[in-house]
A and B are shown apart, each in its own frame.
Chain A
Amino acid sequence: MLKNPWKRRHIIESLVRIVMILSFLAVAGSLGLILWTIISRGLPALTWEMVTQTPKGGFYMGKAGGVLNAILGSLYLASGGTLLALLFSLPIALYLQTYLETSAWGRYVRLALDVLWGIPSIVYGAFGFTLMIALGLRASLLAGILVLALVELPIMTRAMDEVVRRMPRDLEQAALALGSTRLEVSLRVVTRQMLPGIVTAVLLAFGRGIGDAASVLFTAGYTDRLPTSLLRPTASLPLAVLFQLSTPYPEVRERGYASALILTIIVLLVSFGSRWISARLNKYTIR
């Protein structure tokens, strides 16, 4: 029964294991590589000025200023888009789960959500732009929010659908037995029980929204001023990165790297934040 490691099948087993671990290290390593590249190139140009000031005259030729306009613009765009998406996705998820759990219509709706989720944001952007032209709108914060909501809706709804699906059936049955109507059940019990999951879904969509460039490219426009009105154009961080990198001036490009770092930090904060929040809130739910 002693092992002969040089038997063909044992060699193959060891080789497969080694290649798998190497692949895993490659995937994890590329995350490390990305973060290291962004941090090491972005950090030198990241100054206090970058995050507290708007672009001054000649900013794009290397003169003074920062990207506060883009930071604020991105936060506004993503918050607005997330809020709007939440308004629709929560009811859809709850309705899917409480009334359409196994029906054919429920399956179609889920399929449609999966398909929406797969549509690239550039297509949403182009579609949003045609709508704007048809309605006579200009590129603005509002238009950007609308298109981002489109991008985020399927992400958020799918995540919430999953969350609501994992909700313990007994709890719902108990609530129904106590005489609540189905609607009350979904609103109270389900929502409270599912709060951590919902927060995670919202932050997931927010993170996706804030990093998306292709959808806001034509719809939100770009400006060096701080966003003040829903009907005015607004800057956004991904586009700030893109525009700064397309200049020939090294100083401006350096600031582009710094802007990418700022965006990365925001996204990482959102990601870790959602982990932390859901871990904390999870303490109060029944599992």
Chain B
Amino acid sequence: MVITLLPLFLISAVTIGLLLRSWPILSAYSLKELLFGSIWKPSQGLFGFWPFIVGTFWVTVVGVGLAVPPCLLVSIYLAEYAHAFTRSIAKPVLDLLAAIPPVVYGVWGLLAIVPFVETFLAPFSKRWLAFLPFMAVNSPTGFSILAGGIVLAVMIAPLVISVVFEIFATVPNDLRFASLAIGATRWETIRRVVLPQVLPGIIAGIVLGASRAFGETIAVLMVVGNVPQVPGSLFDAAYPLPALIANNYGDMMSIPLYDAALLCAALILLGVILIFNIAATLVLKRFMK
């Protein structure tokens, strides 16, 4: 009996631990200064998280935005169209994608995606898309939000696909048959009968993917450039919160409040992810009954 307390205990321990250790900075600065301050100079006592929050937000949005359309289509394909044989191929592919470690994704991003952004996407955008907001090319390298987003999109794909697939599997076949029996095509059946049923679950699956992207550290850190600025374009470098923690944890001991600031960053991550996850999980549980 006692052992089932462990998961709850661990959540509280992590939350309370981070809260306690980031308390010095939370009591020294107002929340507004910390969250919306845009200058990060720990040696001068300036701890503005805004550039990092915006960076995290953009990388996540780009990653999720790139991942969602193909992932939804793939899960619908696997759930509604594919034969058992195709599914038996898809399963190991998704398992392997999920098994590849973040650092390997990072290496791939470094070797393939960053050069791709630098030599292909950036010139293309400069030539054709520069008039659009967030599409200006100011940085000479491919280390950018876009590169981080592409890597993240592939990383969260197996999670999103498998969650959405399971949701589709909860819809009883009778409903599909009822629609097909009066001569609807497969797609008409999916769009008008199945999709309205599963929409909340799909959104929950996407939120789960977003929270995975939000906290991803190593792979993103390797391709996103890590410049503490408020990015103005997808081709700018950014500095997401997880990367901030990972890059600076070694050498913060000498500066007052620096470690509290970094743990505060971890606390912000944790808070957002707890909210995302609890909401998404509650929605999904309703489906799985």
Contacts and interface: CB of A to CB of B under 8 A. Distances in A.
The yes or no verdict on A and B being binding partners is: yes
Interface of A: 9-10, 12-13, 16-17, 19-21, 23-24, 26-28, 30-31, 33-34, 37-38, 41, 88, 91-92, 95-96, 99-100, 105-109, 111-116, 118-127, 129-131, 150, 153-154, 157, 207-208, 210-214, 217-218, 238, 241-242, 245, 256-257, 260, 263-264, 267-268, 270-271, 275
Contacts of A21: 77
A21 to B, nearest CB: 7
Contact of A264 (B1, B100, B185): B100
Contact of A123 (B6, B90, B270): B270
Interface of B: 1, 3-4, 6-8, 10-11, 13-14, 17-18, 21, 69-71, 73-74, 76-78, 81, 89-90, 92-97, 99-108, 110-112, 154, 157, 161, 185-188, 208, 211-212, 214-218, 222, 242, 245-246, 249-250, 262-263, 266, 269-270, 273-274, 276-278, 281-282, 285
Contacts of B17: 127, 130-131
B81 A17 contact: yes
Given A21-B77, A38-B108, A245-B110, 12 more contacts: A13-B187, A13-B188, A27-B161, A92-B6, A118-B208, A119-B14, A125-B245, A213-B218, A238-B218, A241-B107, A263-B104, A267-B99
Contacts of B111: 37, 41, 257
A2 to B, nearest CB: 15
At the interface, is chain A mostly helix, strand, loop or mixed?
helix
B11 A116 contact: yes
Contact of B112 (A17, A33, A99, A268): A33
B104 A34 contact: yes
Contacts of B100: 31, 34, 211, 264, 267
A55 to B, nearest CB: 18
B168 to A, nearest CB: 13
A31 B14 contact: no
Nearest to A28: B93
B73 A23 contact: yes
Contacts of A271: 95-96, 99
A279 B227 CA distance: 48
Nearest to B215: A120
A92 B8 CA distance: 12
B84 to A, nearest CB: 15
B154 A34 contact: yes
Closest 3 CB pairs of A and B: A211-B101, A120-B215, A112-B7
Contact of A121 (B70, B99, B161, B217): B217
B70 A214 contact: no
Nearest to B219: A213
Nearest to B18: A127
Nearest to B1: A95
Contacts of A211: 99-104
A109 B8 CA distance: 7
Given A19-B73, A257-B107, A129 B249 contact: yes
B102 A109 contact: no
Contacts of B245: 122, 125-126
A34 B7 contact: no
A123 B110 contact: no
A218 B215 contact: no
